[in-house]
Amino acid sequence: MGSSYRTEDNGKISDLPQLHRYITGHNAEGKAIVHSQNDFEWKSFAEGELAFSVAYTTSEFPVNLNKDADVAEHTRVLESGNLGLVNPSGTVFRCVDFAPGYACGMHRTQSLDYGIVLEGEVDMVLDSGEVHPMKRGDVAIQRATQHQWVNKSKTEWARMMFVLQDCQPLVVDGQEYKEDLGTNSGLPPSGN
């Protein structure tokens, strides 16, 4: 498929630039500082055709920033190994790289998601049959809908950034719709 499969750069598999995360905080005088910084850490799925990096999570709303409670909780969530696409009662900030020509499986998360195309062009395909081409800078507001992402290029990687927020159960015309990971798996269910 023309994808370059690399394992350096904290697991990054695409030929797109490595991303760097800065978490801020406060010193004893209440001045802003960088609490910690690091390169994104990537996890490969779909035989190297898809990669995820979770930049941050929260587990409550509103978030408690006191005494770095949110940082400790984020670390706990990642170390648990149980993070699905959504973090119940919280948020997930995730970057996704799609190999050339890759189409993820049709899926639904029980969440409100903001998806932004950072690199390349991606089709947003809905279970109604609608297909919406998205280019760099375009934003999708996914409201617990059944969808898939397709990298339109046969030669270039695409990258999207997502913020997923837990939501109340979705009911349409009396029918409740829950998370449906379809063929995306490799991730545990979100449990929301």
List of domains in the chain: 45-177 (2.60.120.10)
Q: How far is CA 157 from CA 4, 107, 129, in A?
A: 9, 21, 24
C-alpha triplet 185, 189, 192: angle, nearest 5°: 145
Q: In what order do the strands lie in the sheet with 139-143?
A: 43-45, 50-58, 91-98, 158-166, 111-119, 139-143
Tens-of-pLDDT digits for all 192 residues of the chain? Answer: 333 333 457 889 999 999 999 999 999 999 999 999 999 999 999 899 999 999 999 999 999 999 999 999 999 999 999 999 999 999 999 999 999 999 999 999 999 999 999 999 999 999 999 999 999 999 999 999 999 999 999 999 999 999 999 999 999 999 999 999 987 657 788 989
DSSP state of 155: S
How far is Cα 140 from Cα 138, in angstroms, rounded to an integer? Answer: 7
Residue 114: exposure state from Cβ atoms within 10 A (0-12, 13-18, ≥19): middle
For residue 171, what are the β-bridge partners? Answer: 176
Counts for the chain of helices (H) and strands (E), in that order: 2, 13
